[in-house]
Structure 1
Amino acid sequence: MVNRCFGMIKEWGLNSLYKYSIYRRLIWCFVYMSVLPILLIGGYNAVYSFSKNEREAKMFLQESSSQIANNISYYMFSHMNLLEEVAMNPEIVNELMIYHQVDWNQKSDIENHIRLVLGSTFGASGAVNACEIVSVNRSYFYYPSPVSNGDFKTSKLLSRSARQVLMKVSPKEVPSDQNSYVILTRSIYSNEGCVGNIVAALDLSYFNKVCYENVTNLLNEVMIIDENNIVISASNEEQVGSVFGADKMLSISVSEPISNTNLTIVNLIDIQTLLKSAFIQFGITVFTAVLFAVLAFIFAILFTRSITEPINRLMEEMKKPKVEKFVEDAGNDEYHAVIEGFNKMSSNLVEALQKQYEIKLQETKLRELRREAELSALQQQINPHFLYNTLESIYWNGQLEGDEEISEIVNALGNYLRVIIIKGREYITIENEVESVNNYIFLQNKRFENRIVNYWDVSISMRHTKIIKLAIHPIVEDVISANLDDLESQIDIGISIAGELDTIQVTMTGNAVEYFLGRLDKTQVNTRGINSVDERLRLYYGDAFGVVMDKESEKIRVTMPVYKDNGSEGKKQYG
């Protein structure tokens, strides 16, 4: 089916090309062969370049994001530790508990001490914009400015249950400052429970600085988003406050969560940036292809003319009714040889016509020789008939004298010779071939004291199937002869004949076959019979048939077709 489809496509393609002149075909061939490979290679290089840039971009984004996340994580962890230190300070805890129970002088001392602790702890950090401590009794201590509204009931920045530092991005609860900050909150506990909160507002300047510093040649974009996908900091300030994701579909991005926080680093590169280099490379390829196409077109015109002009001159001479003069050509290429051949063909044409009469005379002589050969073959058929009649006389004399053994030998020899030397029949039945082999083995057993034992495995339905004559007997003779020359023990040979569709498979086994195959490479073994059968089968039917001597399985296989009788014995037909 595949070969048929391929043949149809080939035929259609050739018929389509034949509609155009050789001149046009050669020109288009040169153009396509020079331009298409360049376009294919350029397209492949562009795709490969894009995929390579994509891999390198992802690796760069991953490394950059991990570094940014580690830096911010360390930065946040250090400020959270400061809150933990203040929240766990026993003096602060005690002062918040007794603040409402002391007089004004002691209150003033407590306020100064708390502000001193806040200033010494957070004042050295340039990132802390403001910090405060608020007690559950609404006592308010801040440095240098407040962060929350001081009311645990209404404030979204205060919490009674924050045993660990909480973080959120939010403006202060101060009307005068609505900028966004990173708000850190931690509850202050005593043995009796929550006594207050410490709150710190961190500037986003550090985050903005990190985003700006990790932008490489304006190729990538860095941003930090919170748990709600809100951009809190970005290398592009226009992105701050927007929701991440909606406008970043056509980009390659890497996300890296920042430990100890609810923030995530997003590092991305616009895919158009990667495509730009691929487009530039493909553009160079297209330009090169166009340049090569122009050069190829010019070269194709010159080349095709060098091919078609000699052909045109030759065609003009061929259109003339008779050859008046030879075609002249000063070239030294294949077309010069063609033209020289045409000139020689023209000169030989007359000589060919003159020889036609001589050929007819030769055909007459051949017919006479054939009649003589047929007469000789008819005369030679007399000899086998004379031999059969003589053997018949010996057989009946043995019967009359009562010598049954001589009669059996003569009868077997006559049947054997009848199959071997009979003329006119090229195909015999399997039954006749089996009988011929049995007669041969019978005669050999009379000579060698019944040393040969043969076994047949042939279906009864196949006994009248016709095969080519002497397809089995010569092989058996070669095998037994090799064994009789060297062995004195019993010789076993088994022969099975099986049919499948229109093919006959003959398989020979036994110690005789094993010994014969074992001697092939070691000593000279007579294989003339096997070679003759193999050559006949391959000559008649092709290389699919013949004799195979399989040393590994210690078997000899003969494959031949079934003869289909059409009423004429001399014709070779098989299914």
Structure 2
Amino acid sequence: MILNKFYANLSLQRKLLLQFIILSIVPIILIGIVAFFVSYNVTKNNAVQYSKEIVHQSTQKMDELLMGVTKTASMTADEPAIQEALRKPLSNKIADRYAKELDINTRLNFYQSYNDKLFGIYVIGRNGGLYKSNYGTEKEATSDAAWYTKIASSNDITWFQTSKESQIVHTAGEYLIAAGLPIKDKANGNISGVVMVDIPEQELSKIVEAKLGKTGYMFIVDDQDYVVTHFNRNLLAQKAELEPTKKVEKMQEALVKYSKHYIYIEETSSVTGWKIVGMIPLNELTRESIIIRNIIIGIFVIVCTIAIIFSWHFSRRTVQPIKEVSTLMKKVEAGDFSIKMPTKNQDEIGQLSESFNVMIRKLQGLMDSVRKEQESLRQAELKSLQYQINPHFLYNTLDSIVWLVRSKKNDDAIKMVMAITKLFRIGISKGKDIISIKEEIEHVENYLIIQQMRYAKKFDYTIDFPENLYPYQVFKVILQPIVENAIYHGVKLKREKGHIWLSGIETEEYIMLIVKDTGLGMEEDVLQKLNNTLKDAPGEKLNIYGIKNVEERIKLFFGSSYGLTFRSVYGEGTTVEIKIPKVIGVMNNESTVS
């Protein structure tokens, strides 16, 4: 309120100066803000989408590797020779034990040869047997070890945290990830041992070695959020610590988490429940946006300086001639059309003065001319819409008359000729556009007589209008298109014989003409299309020229509160209500509303 009062009390020159400054500065500010956020969001979305694809591909590679490990462990556990070796106690003969060990080791080495990403495959039995696919020096591995008990008590494969040592053989400090599977004796169902598979951590590290942008990276955590592989080796087997997230989005298989300094993209393995986590530093995304922001700030300062100087000079030069125009405009506002503006300049203000003088001279005549033209246009549109009504059934009716004459059904032929004669006599009605409701009822009744003679087996009809409606006036030919629609798109489409009712009611404010049929009716989508067509609403429409013609004539002459209403139930029929005003005293096609 205070600002409005302050602005209202400013001089025109100061207003122009203020407006020019605002119009110059505000767009630059808005463009700068929009450009910054658009560039940031585009960069962020591109980075997230690109990183999500990299994470997804890496997850697929990880799943492929881990599924291969699972398959190898399962094949080993089901190997018949291993089942037999673990079922029996170890032989007391060294030669036999050596031969058995050599046989099993060879089989394990064979399995490993099919998956070159494995470090080793080991079988540890309850009977004390230990077999391996590599030549590492064995540790003391017994069925009493905690890792053995953990594997044997599980029904599925068990994954262990990244470790610098194998549980089975001595290694040179290489990081390994172990997976174990119990071996169930197929003969008795007892757990006879376990399979242990070692995978070099480096194999998983290769999967996530791709960079996300310039400084973003990926790592893997297990289902307890302990780090499985990471470029920072000190974090292996440690609990992953991520920043608290402010926002989480679901993007297909991945979760996108936003924190204060990072964007995290996580996808969970369907094989192990492990997650590949991609980290994108936010400062990498804002770097380009900050450059754009700084450029816009520089442009902003330059433009503001130029705008202030130009606005002051322009407003001062503009105000004086506008003051002169304003004084003369107030006289015209008071109703003095004899005023004449002096033309001093040839610029836009001079042209405005010249045009204003011409406008004053023609204003009164133009207003009268427009009023007459609008009325003529309205009547022309009404005539045009009415003449669109085309009794296209005429040809079929004449064919039916010919057929009746040839069949020597002269009475029926005469009846049809009389009906079509009355139909067109009322339709022409000596050039009148408006007729009484009684005449309109007679018109549609003759139409029904003709159609029933043609489709006697398809429908009957009932006309039940109270006589108090007869004197009221209505546009001619508004019932026939509705009845035609009820025949061709309603009762004619049903196997059983249908019925059409025509009736009307009078209220204190309007008259309602009703056409009801027991035809096929309309499905909801068809009814919606019909309503779209009548109301010129958006959406798919129907080709219903006759009905649309009736609707347009009613609304053009009587207003938008009158017109057609359709209600329909598929399989039961359709009801059409035609709402018109109570019009009486028609003479020379000029009506008054009761």
- TM-score, length-scaled by structure 1: 0.50
Structure-1 separation of matches of 2:348 and 2:38? 44
1:208 is aligned with what amino acid? S
Give the secondary structure class of the aligned counterpart of 1:169. coil
Q: Cα deviations across residues 73-106 of structure 1 (Å, max 9, x unaligned)?
A: 1112222222222222222222334452341111
Q: What does 1:420-435 align with in structure 2 at a 5 Å threshold?
A: none
Q: What does residue 191 of structure 2 align with?
A: 194
Structure 2: how far apart are the matches of 1:137 and 1:177?
29
Query: 1:165-176 residue pairs with structure 2 within 5 A?
Result: 165-171=157-163, 172-173=166-167
Structure 1 residues 334 and 196, CA gap change in structure 2 (3 angstroms): closer
Residue number among 291, 300, 314 corresponding to 1:303 in the alignment: 314
Distance in structure 2 (CA, Å) of the matches to 1:510 and 1:91: 103
Q: Alignment partner of 1:144: what SS?
A: coil
Distance 2:240 2:349 in 1: 74
Equivalent AA in structure 2 for residue 253 of structure 1: Y
Tell me what 2:427 maps to: none
Aligned runs of 1:237-386 on 2, under 5 Å? 240-244=236-240, 246-247=242-243, 249=245, 250=259, 251-307=262-318
Q: What is the distance in 1 between the residues matched to 2:73 and 2:472? A: 99
Aligned to 1:323: none
Gaps of 5+ in 1: 1-8, 314-328, 339-485, 490-508, 519-547, 560-575
2:213 corresponds to 1:220? no
| Structure 2 CA distance for partners of 1:248 and 1:271, relative to 1, 3 Å | farther
Contact 2:161 / 2:237 at 8 angstroms: preserved in 1? no
The CA deviation at 1:68 is: 1.5
1:385 maps to what in 2?
A: none
CA deviation after TM superposition for structure 1 residue 229, in Å:
0.8
| Cα distance between partner residues in 1 of 2:181 and 2:233 | 30
Residues 145 and 99 of structure 1: CA distance in aligned 2, closer, same or farther (over 3 Å) = farther
The residue matched to 1:552 in structure 2 has which SS? strand
On the 8 A contact 1:189/1:195 being kept in 2, the answer is: yes
- CA distance in 1 between counterparts of 2:473 and 2:592 reads 16
Letter in 2 for 1:121: Y
- Cα offset for 1:202? 0.5
The 5-angstrom pairing of residues 374-453 of structure 1 reads: none
Q: CA RMSD in A?
A: 4.3
Partner residue, 1:39: 29
Partners of 2:3 and 2:322 lie apart in 1 by 23
**Pairwise CA distance, 1:145:** 2.6
Shift of 1:208: 0.9
For 1:20 and 1:511, the matched residues in 2 are separated by: 68
* SS of 2:203 mapped into structure 1: helix
* Counterpart Cα distance in 2 of 1:265 and 1:168: 17
Paired AA for residue 198 in structure 1: V
Using the TM superposition, name which of 66-75 and 163-172 deviates more: 163-172
- Rounded Cα–Cα distance in structure 2 between residues aligned with 1:146 and 1:198: 18
Code of the aligned partner of 1:160? A
Look up the match of 2:179. 184
Q: Is the 8 A contact 1:255 1:264 kept in 2?
A: yes
- SS of equivalent to 1:128: coil
Measured at CA, do residues 243 and 276 of structure 1 come closer, stay the same or move farther in structure 2, by a change above 3 Å? farther
Question: Which amino acid is 2:214 matched to?
Answer: L
Larger Rg: 1
Give the conservation status (yes or no) of the 8 Å contact 1:148–1:157.
no
For the Cα contact (< 8 Å) 2:136–2:171, is it kept in 1?
A: no
* In 2: Cα distance, 1:204 partner to 1:81 partner: 19
Contact 1:132 1:146 in 2 (8 A): no
Distance 2:44 2:139 in 1: 47
Spell out the pairing of 1:95-134 with structure 2 (5 A cutoff): 95-98=85-88, 100-122=90-112, 125-134=115-124
Q: Is the 8 A contact 2:213 2:280 kept in 1?
A: no
Alignment partner, residue 469 of structure 1: none
Q: CA deviation at 1:296?
A: 1.1
Identical columns (%): 16
- Rounded to whole Å, the distance in 2 between the matches of 1:127 and 1:337 is 87
| Letter in structure 1 aligned against 2:71 | N
Answer yes or no: is 1:29 the counterpart of 2:19.
yes
| Aligned twin of 1:554 | 582
**Cα gap change, 1:23 to 1:94, in 2 (>3 Å):** same
- Residue 132 of structure 1 aligns to a residue whose secondary structure is strand
CA drift of 1:336 comes to: 8.9
1:211 aligns with 2:222: no
Q: Does 1:160 align with 2:169?
A: no
What is the deviation of 1:337?
11
1:98/1:311 CA distance change after superposition, 3 Å: closer
For 1:271 and 1:233, locate their aligned partners in 2 and report how far apart those are by CA, in whole Å. 23
**Hey, what's the Cα distance between the residues in 2 that align with 1:149 and 1:235?**
32
Matched, 1:68 2:58: yes
Q: Which residue of 2 aligns with 1:514?
A: 473
